[in-house]
Chain A
């Protein structure tokens, strides 16, 4: 169970001869949090799917010494015919647990993401977008992953809730030493949670900047986050990276 953590080298991928990723190298130490930033269409989701083993890259290699990698997808991808509780329990289907235990765990985890008894019994089409996102988060956390891959997991939530969920993920990850890779277009999310952030940009996507945030996550107050965002946003590479989306 030692190992170096997640190591990716020379990742190159494309869809139907459109190049999406070109020579991406990454290294995430065990228990560390990496944020992947970048404009829409830069290939963040593609990169995350490759890192998690859902997609085989055309070239390059991923070293993934983890036993339970888990995703929160950009679309919540809930089973429409299962209640919120049923969906969280479904994530535990691979574990040796009784039906009752699975549902008990699901209930507990739903409470942690702020969904009570009445929401737990509802079907996805009866939940708001933000609630669905939280069900997906609960489903991922319930399996107690050692590698957690979050694709814009907090984006459909309002500011307060998004902060709360970030806190939940941070505490859970710290407590159990979970390695986290999160994709986001929200700089403040990266600054609050990540030890390192990479910026993916261009076509095909390449890593154009690597930023390190040294202060431990639990010691980052609002003032620090604000100062850090201002510092990063002022960097030339960052402004260049996000410019294509501003103009079109």
Chain B
């Protein structure tokens, strides 16, 4: 009797990911059978609804609009958050001033930002961008501050002793350390950006996946709603897998084999 290579099977991470998704789909199907079409349409019906959305030509523009809203807000959050965080990490007074502000902003529910930005910017596309930026910015800021603050003093002294120019100081001494704080925060911020963008679109009705969700709700079309949810989740997964993960890998090659790090 051939022995089952359990270890090898267990080592294939992709298999486990597939298994996880299979379990979710199975539970979904079971829920559908228990509660019926109206509460939870079957995965197949959802897929069909998704197909209709694509055929209508509604899917592509919606994804583009949401991507634009999420990415513009995320970019603004990243730029402002990193810059201010970097300064705050180096300057105690600036930190003392901005840190409580960031904590306060993090405490404001994202939906409150959406409502406020709709009041401020009306139906223009700016509302979504602003909501995203102001929700994600403080997260980036906090990580950048923490990263900059904890740069090894010995390495800074060394760089000073070698009279290294400011550019090399930032790129070679500060950045690699700060990135180990910043990259996980950027991952969180990017996921947050998609969600807040969808939320803002839902309320503003200026197109995008959120607008699609609002329409589906108005039509009381649960399958369509589920289809839009699947689109958002799929986009998040794609971004995570093909943007965040490769970037993280690229910047952290040097960590391989460090104690406590997976090879």
Task: Tell me the A residues contacting B by CB distance below 8 Å.
Answer: 52, 54, 68-71, 73, 75, 77, 79-82, 90-91, 93-94, 123, 125-126, 139, 143
B154 touching A77 by the CB < 8 A rule?
Answer: yes
Which single member of A54, A75, A79, A93 contacts B161 (CB below 8 Å)? A54
A94 touching B254 by the CB < 8 A rule?
Answer: no
7 residue pairs, one from A and one from B, having the closest CB atoms: A93-B168, A81-B176, A77-B158, A81-B254, A93-B164, A71-B161, A94-B163
Q: How long is the Cα–Cα vector from A70 to B158 in the complex, in angstroms?
A: 9
B159 contacts across to A, CB distance below 8 A: 90
Contact A93 B254, CB 8 Å, known A73-B154, A75-B154, A77-B154: no
A82 touching B172 by the CB < 8 A rule?
Answer: yes
A71 touching B254 by the CB < 8 A rule?
Answer: no
**Chain A nearest CB: distance from B12 CB in Å?**
28
A94 touching B164 by the CB < 8 A rule?
Answer: yes
Task: Tell me the B residues contacting A by CB distance below 8 Å.
Answer: 154-155, 157-165, 168, 172-173, 176-177, 254, 257-259
Please, which residue of chain B has its CB at the minimum distance from the CB of A75? B154
Question: Chain A CB within 10 Å — which of B161, B163, B172 has the most?
Answer: B161
Please classify the interface of chain A as helix (H, G, I), strand (E, B), loop, or mixed, using the class held by over half of its residues: loop
B254 touching A90 by the CB < 8 A rule?
Answer: no
Which single member of A52, A91, A123 contacts B254 (CB below 8 Å)? A123
Please, which residue of chain A has its CB at the minimum distance from the CB of B152? A77
Contact A82 B254, CB 8 Å, known A75-B154, A93-B168: yes
**Chain A nearest CB: distance from B205 CB in Å?**
47
**Chain A nearest CB: distance from B38 CB in Å?**
55
Which single member of A75, A80, A93 contacts B162 (CB below 8 Å)? A93
Q: How long is the Cα–Cα vector from A80 to B179 in the complex, in angstroms?
A: 13
Please classify the interface of chain B as helix (H, G, I), strand (E, B), loop, or mixed, using the class held by over half of its residues: helix
Which single member of B155, B163, B257, B258 contacts A77 (CB below 8 Å)? B155
Q: How long is the Cα–Cα vector from A85 to B24 in the complex, in angstroms?
A: 49
B258 contacts across to A, CB distance below 8 A: 125
Beyond A81-B254, A125-B257, 4 additional pairs, beta carbon < 8 A:
A54-B160, A77-B157, A94-B163, A143-B162
Which single member of B160, B172, B257 contacts A79 (CB below 8 Å)? B172
A93 contacts across to B, CB distance below 8 A: 162, 164-165, 168, 172
B259 contacts across to A, CB distance below 8 A: 125
A81 contacts across to B, CB distance below 8 A: 176-177, 254
B158 touching A73 by the CB < 8 A rule?
Answer: yes
5 contacts between A and B (CB under 8 A): A73-B157, A91-B162, A93-B165, A94-B163, A125-B257
B154 touching A90 by the CB < 8 A rule?
Answer: no
Q: How long is the Cα–Cα vector from A71 to B161 in the complex, in angstroms?
A: 7
Contact A90 B160, CB 8 Å, known A79-B173, A81-B254: no
A54 touching B168 by the CB < 8 A rule?
Answer: no
Which single member of B157, B173, B177, B257 contacts A54 (CB below 8 Å)? B157
**Chain A nearest CB: distance from B257 CB in Å?**
6
**Chain A nearest CB: distance from B189 CB in Å?**
23
Q: How long is the Cα–Cα vector from A80 to B173 in the complex, in angstroms?
A: 10
Contact A71 B158, CB 8 Å, known A79-B176, A82-B172: yes
B160 contacts across to A, CB distance below 8 A: 54
Contact A52 B161, CB 8 Å, known A75-B154, A123-B254: yes
**Chain A nearest CB: distance from B216 CB in Å?**
48
Q: How long is the Cα–Cα vector from A109 to B257 in the complex, in angstroms?
A: 26
B162 touching A70 by the CB < 8 A rule?
Answer: yes
Contact A126 B257, CB 8 Å, known A79-B173, A90-B172: yes
Please, which residue of chain B has its CB at the minimum distance from the CB of A80? B254
**Chain B nearest CB: distance from A219 CB in Å?**
33
